[in-house]
Each structure stands twice: as C-alpha cells, then as structure tokens.
Amino acid sequence: MDTKKIFVPNLFICILMDLLGMVTFFFPALGEIADVVWAPVSAFIFYLMFGGRFGVIGGILNFLEEIIPFTDIIPSFTIAWLIRKNEADKLLENK
C-alpha cells in the first residue's frame, strides 16, 4: 500500500499571493522598486507553501517572474496550485 501524500495549499491563499504580486504592476515606477523587496519574499513563501523540489524550482521561477519587469501579471502561485492539485488527483486515481 502506497502511503505517499501530496500537500495541496489553499487555493484562496494562492490567488491572494498572486494578487499581492500584481499590485506593484499598477504603480509603474514605484512598482519595480517594490518588486526588489517583494520578489525574494514571494519566492520564500512559495517554497514554504509547496516545499521540496517543486517548491525550490517554483520559488526560483516565482522570484524571476516578480523581479523581471512587466511579468507580474503571471499567476505563478495559482499555476503551481493547479499543477499540485492535478498531481494529487492522479495519485488518488491510482489508489
């Protein structure tokens, strides 16, 4: 019997994190300065929420998405949630 479990973070929190990241997009000059602070914080939160290898790789990609200008609109937390949810659903199907 396989006891492997996949943790799926709360979708509401993922959407909220994406919205927080997009807020800086609406303040062009100030937003890019705020992204310098927000990018590492967001990446660390991403790692804590998803953990493991997925969290490390996703955290790096999230950091890049937040630090590169005009990419704040990408909902990286929500995309990661969809991937993780899909993995969990597949695991349940195979049981």
Overall number of domains in the chain: 1
DSSP letter, residue 94: T
pLDDT at position 5: 77
pLDDT at position 1: 39
17, part of any domain: yes
Neighbours of 93 (CB within 10 A): 7
2, part of any domain: no
pLDDT at position 9: 92
What's the pTM value of the predicted model, to 2 decimals? 0.88
pLDDT at position 65: 93
3, part of any domain: no
Which structural domain, as residue segments, surrounds residue 53?
11-93
67, part of any domain: yes
- 63 neighbors 43 (Cβ within 8 angstroms): yes
73, part of any domain: yes
1-21 average pLDDT score: 84
